[in-house]
Amino acid sequence: MKKTTRLKKLLAEKRLLVAPAAYDALSARIIEQAGFELMAVTGYGLSASLLGRPDVGLTTMTEVVTASRNIAAAVEVPVFADADTGYGNAINVMRAIEEFIRAGVAGVHLEDQVSPKRCGHVAGKQLISIEEAAGKIRAAAKVRKELDPDFVLIARTDARGALGGGMDEVIRRGRAYVEAGADVVFPDGLTAVEELERCVREVPAPILYNMVGVSPLLPLEELEALGVAVVEHAGGAFLAAARAMLDFMHGFKAGGTQFLVEFGQGLAQHPMRNFHRFIGFDRIRQLEEEYLPSEEVQRKYAETVGYQP
């Protein structure tokens, strides 16, 4: 089954779907290994990991599509990507949707901010007109119909915290985007459970809730009871990785070789203790034994030094 079709079927089950966000192929593999059935691609995490810069619209379509392709190819579960503002007007959106579909992701979310955009949980956001934003959704829907009708379009609105916005504008835009062809509505930057309740009640489409930043951390059971379709946690993977790397590097700088010894000992009971196996060296040897001359495989493993799958 295509990943787009699988995501559509998951949404049709009308239960809460939990989608952590990956920022590269390794984080995607780890999310899948933990048992999640779908995932997002974090635009903030891509900007941080690719550029070392904040999420203010600095990444290009090519960079985001390439990263999303690598993430989608690394896992079996459906992946939806962050397409920012679509990298221009409605015509640019059409090209972007073509590229994301060809990259193998199951869907994207498009937002209604002025370009260059910024993280939905940072002040300074501005909106394009509702007419222009709806036109982008219609343009995306046209490409979806032509290339893959199951591709999921998620309309993100930043109206809650943007200049001139508010909850009435969130609802107005959410409804307009559904009429334009969106499958899911993503009201980003909500600040209270009552605001989320209103979105679920008044927007005629499944709601995606981004549980990060200014938005409250609500129990999953409560989100399901409210009728939320998808809960995304955009920052967990890259924040956890950044914290772990910072701690490691400070420990190495202060402790030298002894720190490395102690670090290795601490991995003894951890699932990542054999990273060679996790990343796939055992599978590579299986493929070599199946497709390469058997004498060559036996000799190169018997007569070289290193990890033996």
Between the alpha carbon of residue 104 and those of residues 23, 38, 59, 156, 175, the distances in Å are 16, 14, 19, 21, 28
CB–CB of 201/164 below 8 Å? Answer: no
Confidence at 107, pLDDT banded by 50, 70, 90: very high
Closest CA to 188 of 220, 224, 146, 232: 232
The pLDDT score that the predictor gives to residue 102 is 98
- 19-63: per-residue pLDDT in tens? 999 999 999 999 999 999 999 999 999 999 999 999 999 999 999
The pLDDT score that the predictor gives to residue 83 is 98
- What angle, 0 to 180 degrees and rounded to 10, lies between the N-to-C axes of helices 25-33 and 61-74? 40
The pLDDT score that the predictor gives to residue 225 is 97
CB–CB of 212/235 below 8 Å? Answer: yes
For tokens 């690394």, what's the residue? 74
Coil, strand or helix at 231: strand
Strand partners, 208: 230
Helix and strand tally (H, E) in the chain?
Answer: 13, 8
Strands 107-111 vs 39-41: parallel, antiparallel or unpaired: unpaired
Query: What domains, with CATH codes, occur in the chain?
Result: 3-234 (3.20.20.60)
Closest CA to 28 of 19, 39, 37: 39
* Burial readout 161-200 (b: 16 or more C-beta within 10 A, e: otherwise): bbeebebebbbbbbbbbbebbbbbbbbbbbeeeebbebbb
The pLDDT score that the predictor gives to residue 296 is 94
Confidence at 152, pLDDT banded by 50, 70, 90: very high
Residue 273 carries which DSSP code?
G
How high is the mean pLDDT of the chain? 97
